[in-house]
């Protein structure tokens, strides 16, 4: 894995962690425990298991999971912009109808494009 991908993965983990923290530290910690014990996904594995994580959110929160995913996308975009990981014009956070999984995929594709 290249350093750009590693940086992206770290920013994604941070974005998810920050948004989950907004639910309260005990709730965030309990979600990580359930995720690891019942779904065998650790916090550090989230970037590689993002689809499973999304499914987990919908199991736990139902349709309200979409609101969390939108917050993840906004937080991730802010982190990537601040870190200047992508070119400014590579991708923007404009399509609110985009799914979380599609957004992550487009961001990863943009990383590849912007580095060459």
| Structure confidence by residue, pLDDT tens digits, 30-60 | 999 999 999 999 999 999 999 999 999 999 9
* Conformational region of residue 40, where left means phi above 0, alpha means psi within -120 to 50, and beta covers everything else: left
pLDDT < 70 stretches in the chain: 1, 83-97, 112-116
pLDDT value, residue 98: 75
What distance in Å separates the CA atoms of residue 13 and residue 46, rounded to the nearest whole number? 7
CA dihedral over 15, 49, 5, 74, signed as positive or negative: negative
Please tell us whether the domain made up of 3-114 is placed in CATH 1.10.1200.200: yes
What distance in Å separates the CA atoms of residue 94 and residue 16, rounded to the nearest whole number? 19
Task: Tell me 98's DSSP state.
Answer: S
pLDDT value, residue 22: 96
């Amino acid at each position: 894995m290249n350093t750009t991908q590693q940086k992206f993965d770290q920013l994604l983990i941070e974005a998810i962690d920050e948004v989950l923290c907004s639910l309260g530290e005990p709730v965030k910690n309990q979600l990580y425990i359930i995720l690891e014990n019942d779904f065998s996904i650790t916090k550090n594995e989230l970037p590689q298991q993002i689809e499973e994580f999304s499914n987990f959110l919908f199991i736990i929160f139902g349709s309200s999971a979409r609101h969390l995913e939108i917050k993840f996308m906004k937080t991730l975009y802010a982190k990537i912009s601040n870190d200047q990981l992508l070119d400014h014009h590579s991708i923007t956070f404009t399509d609110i109808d985009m799914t979380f999984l599609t957004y992550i995929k487009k961001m990863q594709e943009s990383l590849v494009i912007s580095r060459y």
